[in-house]
Amino acid sequence: MSAPERRLHIATIVVAFLENLRPLVVPALVVIFAGGRPDGDNWEQVVGGALAALAVIPAVARYVTFRFTIDDRTLEIRSGWIMRQRRTIPLERIQNVNVKRNVLHRLLKVAVLDIETAGGMGSEASLSVVADADVDALVAELRGGIAGVSEPLTHEGPPPVYQATVRQLMVAGATENRALALIFVILGVGNEFIFDRIGNMVEKSDTVRFLAVIPPAVLYGVLIGGFLFLAILAGWAYSIGSQVVSNFGFRLTQRDGVITVERGLLTQRRSVVPLRRIQLLRISEPVLQRKLGYAQVFSSSAAAFDDKDAGGQLALCPIIERESVDDLLSLSLPGARLHPDGWEPLGRGAWTLFWLASIWVIVALSVIPMTLMSIASDDLRRSLSIAGGIFGGYVLLSAGLNALKVRSFGFQRSDGFFQLRSGWWRKDTAFVPEDRIQTVTLHQSPGQRKRGLATVTVTTAAAVAGTINLPHIPVDRARELVHELAARSAQLSGGV
Amino acid sequence: MVESPRGPEKLEQVVVKRWQIGALVGWGIFALLVGGFLLALSLIGGDLPLWVPGAVVFLCVLAALLSYRFAWRTYQAWTFEVTPASLILRHGVYWRIERHVARARIQHLDISSGPFDRRFGVVEVSVFVAGTLGAVGQIPGLSPERAEALRADLLAHREANA
């Protein structure tokens, strides 16, 4: 007997209508404010009506045409009106089922189920939206394929393996580098508006009695310094706030070989990942967190995650004490643990290649401006010495930073894992179970051949962040490593 | 590592001609379009010196000749090897690549041929594994019979281990 056909929740119309409306708002505003007003009093109503029609028709069509069935082997989805589509997904191919609720979903008591397979980036299918009350049962039905169990996932389920408190999240936000992007934006805006105003204030300072006593150079420095301090403070506050909002109530549970992660203040997310699908684990230690004894743990599985905050990886822990990392590692990948020693270094000549790679662009870009500057300048000697000083400073700085970079790299094979560590500012350690390696590649550039070096690239089935590069190791060791890893990959049959 | 019973295999030698003709035609079309456009600008607008389209055409001819000569070295560098455990691809003249794809990991293979391939009687085999957006390896310049035999061999291994 075939499984019954099911529909999405009626709130699909509202959710889809608002989703469709969002990209139309900006063009509508442009039409209303920049396009001129034709005669008549009902211009806004006409634009509004047209937009509503553009947004509501596909929303209704989505609800009316979308049907899905789940039997004991497949999820089948039929959709479309003009272009009809039928998609069949074997349950055993489903890698993850993610549950997502934003504020609107919570008001309407509905949720989005994103279903991911190993077929590439993004969701293979999305049930948007279903009733809150049906979510657990649907996830359990879909999980029947991925974990061989069918109990519903509930908050009364297994006790959490890891929970993040608000204080921990605030520490995570305060110690990672999320603020930098915002600071640069603020400085960019500041360059346009604030610095000009500060310049004007300094010029007019002699009209204000108490400012007139301060030398203009000092006043300018104080105002710029104050602005930069405020920008850094704002960036820091943003970093803390975004960490708390995105990971509020972070809860990691594990049962029957399946990891479940729940998090989020405004948009709540739940990700379900079978352990055997994990392709790679990454322990990340930003410099400040490292000094305070904290780390972050991310996983990449065979499907792409809807997790933009973590660069496409699933955060298993947004922040964790370093001494607890081994427990979490062995829970996610049995047998995995951090080794303090036994790391093999890069080959001799690695520093030269890193250094050359970092300066050749700047050399190419600086030769032309330096030449032009010298020709145009009245004081050739002075301009050449300034340009040479800047260039020389960059070359020396680059030499030092690349020495740190070379020292930070290390690799080892132990306990059935290929491990790579890298980064001196943000230290990353990647764990790849050798039985989950898909391809192993040895690359040699002309520069590497001259120095007897090679790069080894290992790929897994994780579409996002599932590839690791081991650069500039001795070529004989690289060949040995490639053959050993390829043999392991061929012998064992880890999960995909 | 289990040694391959067949050892490294070369591509069909006719692929050199296919690459050479492809490069000549490709650069020729580029020279015709860009050079022609710039020539038209020079003649109609008058602002652009005539040596500019001339230089573009000269560079295209140079690139075509280099590609023509390079085809033979590319062919010499290209080998593939089917071992009991892996498919190994080796290629690259200056930037050398050796890629090992475990046979058990291969999801599917595509055999494709463009107009030039068909003219010279060769096809290209693309190898796919799970979780990647594109092919992890492409073997150009095989006869259709060799490509079919390779596909059957690799997929038979997968089915036998399923």
Using an 8 Å CB-CB cutoff, list chain B residues near A491.
85
**Segment (H or E) for A332:** helix A325-332
* Residue A264 to residue A247: CA distance in whole angstroms: 5
CA distance A439 to chain B (A): 5
- Assign residue A120 a region (left: φ > 0; alpha: ψ between -120 and 50; beta: otherwise): left
Check if the interface score ipTM surpasses 0.90.
no
pLDDT of A457: 94
Q: Do A302 and B131 touch (CB under 8 A)?
A: yes
Bridge partners (DSSP) listed for residue A116: A96
CA distance A271 to chain B (A): 18
Nearest chain B residue to A436, by CA: B105
pLDDT of A148: 41
| Number of CB atoms found within 10 A of residue A261's CB | 23
Q: A487 in contact with B at a CB cutoff of 8 Å?
A: yes
Nearest chain B residue to A479, by CA: B98
Burial of A401 (0-12, 13-18, 19+ CB in 10 A): middle
Q: Do B102 and A439 touch (CB under 8 A)?
A: yes
**Segment (H or E) for B55:** helix B51-77
A126/B88: higher pLDDT: B88
Nearest to A466 among B102, B131, B161 (CB): B131
CA distance A71 to chain B (A): 24
Strongest mean pLDDT among A118-132, A296-310, A354-368:
A354-368
| Three-point CA angle A432, B109, B131, nearest 5° | 30
Q: Do B96 and A443 touch (CB under 8 A)?
A: yes
Nearest chain B residue to A441, by CA: B99
Give B55's contacts (C-beta < 8 A, 6+ positions apart): none
Secondary structure class of A282 (helix, strand, coil): strand
Using an 8 Å CB-CB cutoff, list chain B residues near A446.
94-95
pLDDT of A371: 67
Q: Do A487 and B99 touch (CB under 8 A)?
A: no
Q: What is the mean pLDDT of residues A156-163?
A: 78
Nearest chain A residue to B1, by CA: A487
Q: Which residues of B touch A (CB under 8 A)?
A: 1, 85-86, 88, 92, 94-105, 129-133, 136-137, 161
Nearest to B130 among A445, A461, A490 (CB): A461
Query: Which pair of tokens denotes residue A5?
Result: 């056909």
Residue in A441, A445, A488 to test binding to B, most B beta-carbons within 10 Å:
A441
A345-400 per-position pLDDT tens digit: 999 999 999 999 988 877 777 666 666 766 666 677 777 777 778 778 888 999 99
Position B30 pLDDT exceeds 90 = yes
CA distance B4 to chain A (A): 13
pLDDT of A309: 42
Residue type, A86: R
Average pLDDT, chain A: 81
Using an 8 Å CB-CB cutoff, list chain A residues near B97.
441-444
Nearest to A489 among B92, B97, B102 (CB): B102
Give A332's contacts (C-beta < 8 A, 6+ positions apart): A259, A275, A278, A281, A297, A299, A316
Residue in B105, B108, B126 to test binding to A, most A beta-carbons within 10 Å:
B105
Q: Which of A112, A123, A51 is nearest to A87 (CA)?
A: A123
pLDDT of A218: 79
The percentage of residues in chain A with a pLDDT greater than 70, rounded to a whole number, is 79
- Whether the model clears a pTM of 0.90, i.e. scores above it, the answer is no
Q: What is the mean pLDDT of residues A280-297?
A: 90
pLDDT of A463: 63
**Cis? peptide before A56, omega within 30° of 0:** no
Q: Which of B126, B129, B134 is nearest to B151 (CA)?
A: B126
Across the A:B interface, residue pairs with CB atoms under 8 Å apart total 90
Using an 8 Å CB-CB cutoff, list chain B residues near A437.
102
CA distance A461 to chain B (A): 4
Position A152 pLDDT exceeds 50 = no
Distances (CA, A) of B146 to A234, A298, B28, B117: 64, 44, 32, 14
Q: Do B96 and A444 touch (CB under 8 A)?
A: yes
pLDDT of A92: 75
Buried b (16+ CB within 10 A) or exposed e, A462-475: bbbbbbbebbbbbb
pLDDT of B158: 60
CA distance A464 to chain B (A): 9
Instruction: Mean pLDDT check: name the lowest of A289-298, A349-358, B64-73, B107-116.
Output: B107-116
Q: Do B131 and A463 touch (CB under 8 A)?
A: yes
CA distance A304 to chain B (A): 9
pLDDT of B99: 95
Nearest to B101 among A303, A439, A446 (CB): A439
Give B143's contacts (C-beta < 8 A, 6+ positions apart): B12, B121, B122, B123
Q: Do B98 and A118 touch (CB under 8 A)?
A: no
* Residue A142 to residue A83: CA distance in whole angstroms: 27
pLDDT of B32: 93
Position B7 pLDDT exceeds 60 = yes
Q: Do A486 and B94 touch (CB under 8 A)?
A: no
